[in-house]
Amino acid sequence: MKAPLFDKLIEYSKANLVFHMPGHKFGSIADLDQIDMTKLDNTEAMGMDNLYEAEGIIRQAMELMADFYGTKQTIFLTNGSTAGILTSILSICKEGDQLIVARNAHHSVWSALILAGVSPIYVSPEYIESEHIIGSISEETIEKAYKAYPKAKGVLVVSPTYEGIVSDIEAISRITHRYGGILIVDEAHGAHFVLEGDFPKSSIKLGADIVINSMHKTLPTLTQSALLHICSDRVNYDEVIQVLRMIQTSSPSYVMMGIMDYIRAYIQVHKEEIQRNYVNELVSFRKILNEELKQLKLISFDTERYDISKVIISTTHTNINGYELEELLNKNFNITVEAALNNYIILMTTIADQKMSLAKLKEALIRLDQMVEKQGTQKSINSFMKQKITLGNNPRRIFYSNKQCLHIKECLNRVSAKNIMLYPPGIPIIAIGEVFTKEDIILLNDFKEKIKGIKIIDNEIFLEVVQDETKVIRDNMK
C-alpha cells in the first residue's frame, strides 16, 4: 500500500519532539491520543444541531465556551482564525469603507479587504531594533490614524504578535470607541490567555469588540479549530453568522467542535494541575535559560505585555543564524521548531508540554550554546516594518487590475500586484498595492530563499506588478 503522506505523518509524530502547532503535540495531553476521532465525526443529523442555526447541543457548547472566556457570545470556527478574520471584516465593513489595519497583520486580512472592497489605513507597530522583532502598536499611532482618517470603520490589530508581544488594547479600544469605530483583535496566538495568572490579559477583558482565537495554535485542539468572540453590543451575532456561513464550509467538523468543547471542560477541571505541571515548569525553564545561555539569548519582556509560552531564542550575537539553529536542533536532538528567521527561532509551548519536554529542550539549547561563538550582529528580515500611517491602495482594485511580471531591477516605484510574504507567520513584507522601494528590493535580494510570492528563475527574482499603475492610483483617490 502506498500512502506517502499518511506514512510520513505517523513516522514524524513518533520521531520528533515538537515545539510547533498544533498545540496538542500529537495528543500528549487530556488522553487525546486515546480518543477514536471517527466516533466524533458527525453531521447535522437529528439531535446534532447546526452551527449556523445553533439551538441545541452546539449552542450549549458555545455558551459554555462564552462563559469560560467571559464573552457575550462565542462562535466555533472550523476554518481557523482565517475564517474569523474574513467574517469579522465582512460583517462590519461595506464596500468603499476604510479600516485601520496593523501592518503586521496576517495575510488573511488582505483577502478580507479584497472580498469586502475595503481600503486599508496602515499603521505600524514599533520595530524593536535591539532584538530585531516586531513589537506592539501604540495608542498614539491609532489616535494619529483616526485624526487623519476619522471616518475609518474600525481598527484591526494583532495582539499578541507571533513572537508574543501584546499591545495596550484597553487604550486602543478607548480611542477606537471615541471615534465610533469597532475594534477587532486578532488574538490568534492568545487562546491560552484564558489560563490567566502568568499570561497577559486577553483583549476580551480589555474592551475589544471582536476577538479571534486559534485554539489549535496555543491550546490542545485540532488544526483549524478556532473561536470568534463577540464582546460588545456593537457587534450583531446574526450578521456575523450570516457572513460566516458564506465564508466557511457548509460541513463544519464535529470532530473539531467536539474537541474544543472537551478541552474547555478539561481545562476548567484541571486548572491547578496545568498551573503546576506546565506554567510553573515553564517559568523555571525560562529562569534557567536566562541564567545559562551565554551566546544565544532567550528574549523576554515584562510579563504583562509578553506571552511567556513563546520561547524565542536569539542568534543575533552569534556565529550562526536562526535557520542554522533550527537545523542543529533538528539534526542533533530531533527537536522541531515553529519557525526560524534570520535572527531567532520561535518555539511554541503549550499545556501539552510538561517537565520532560521542557527539560529536553533546555538541555539541547544549553548544549548548543556551548558550541556557538560570539559574533557581530546580523541583518534582520523584520526591518521591512516602516513607521508611517498611510492610506493603502485598495486591494480589490489591485487584485482585478492587469498585471505583468518584471525582473526585480525594473520594479523600483512599481505597485506590487501581490502580497510578498514571510511564511510563517504570513505577514506581507510588501502588501498588495504597496510600491517597491529601494530598501524593499535590497531586502528581497537578501532573503529571497525565505520569501513567498516571488518567482525565482536562474537565481534572479521576478515580481508581479500592476501594469497600468498610474490608473490604479488615480482610481483609488476618487
Ligand X SMILES: Cc1ncc(COP(=O)(O)O)c(C=O)c1O
For ligand X, the binding residues (CB under 6 A) are 80-82, 106, 108, 158, 162, 186, 188-189, 214, 226, 424-426
Shortest Å, Cβ 161 to ligand X = 7
Shortest Å, Cβ 458 to ligand X = 32
Give the containing element (helix H, strand E) for 269.
helix 254-269
Shortest Å, Cβ 217 to ligand X = 6
Do 335 and 19 contact (CB within 8 A), yes or no?
yes
Q: Which is nearer to ligand X, 78 or 354 (CB)?
A: 78
Q: Which is nearer to ligand X, 108 or 253 (CB)?
A: 108
Q: Which is nearer to ligand X, 27 or 426 (CB)?
A: 426
Q: Which is nearer to ligand X, 157 or 328 (CB)?
A: 157
What amino acid occupies position 373?
E
Do 89 and 153 contact (CB within 8 A), yes or no?
no
Shortest Å, Cβ 102 to ligand X = 10
Q: Which is nearer to ligand X, 157 or 463 (CB)?
A: 157
Alpha carbon separation from 43 to 23, 36, 74, 78 (Å, rounded):
25, 16, 20, 13
Q: What's the sign of the alpha-carbon dihedral 435, 448, 399, 384? A: negative
Do 18 and 26 contact (CB within 8 A), yes or no?
yes
All cell numbers assigned to 259: 474537541
What is the separation, in whole angstroms, between the first and last Cα of the chain? 60
Q: What's the sign of the alpha-carbon dihedral 111, 345, 124, 155? A: positive
Q: Which is nearer to ligand X, 188 or 260 (CB)?
A: 188
Shortest Å, Cβ 216 to ligand X = 6
Do 453 and 427 contact (CB within 8 A), yes or no?
no
Least Cα distance to 230 among 191, 204, 206 occurs for: 204
Q: Which is nearer to ligand X, 222 or 226 (CB)?
A: 226
Q: Which is nearer to ligand X, 162 or 193 (CB)?
A: 162
Query: What secondary structure letter does DSSP report for 233?
Result: T
Is the backbone of residue 20 left (phi > 0), alpha (psi -120 to 50) or beta?
A: beta
Shortest Å, Cβ 79 to ligand X = 7
Do 385 and 119 contact (CB within 8 A), yes or no?
no
Shortest Å, Cβ 212 to ligand X = 7
Strands (E), 254-388: 297-298, 310-314, 335-337, 339-340, 344-348
Shortest Å, Cβ 423 to ligand X = 9
Shortest Å, Cβ 410 to ligand X = 32
Do 255 and 224 contact (CB within 8 A), yes or no?
no
All cell numbers assigned to 469: 499603475
Q: Which is nearer to ligand X, 109 or 320 (CB)?
A: 109
> In the bound complex, which residue of the shown chain has the CB atom lying closest to ligand X?
80
Shortest Å, Cβ 84 to ligand X = 8
Cα–Cα distance for residue pair 136/103, rounded to 1 Å: 11
Shortest Å, Cβ 261 to ligand X = 18
Rounded to 5°, the CA angle 405-411-417 comes to 55
What amino acid occupies position 288?
I
Give the containing element (helix H, strand E) for 355.
helix 355-371
Q: Which is nearer to ligand X, 88 or 416 (CB)?
A: 88
Q: Which is nearer to ligand X, 106 or 310 (CB)?
A: 106
Cα–Cα distance for residue pair 57/47, rounded to 1 Å: 8
Shortest Å, Cβ 82 to ligand X = 3
Q: Which is nearer to ligand X, 186 or 261 (CB)?
A: 186
Give the containing element (helix H, strand E) for 113.
helix 108-116
Q: How many CA atoms lie within 13 A of 49 on its CB side?
A: 18
Do 120 and 434 contact (CB within 8 A), yes or no?
no
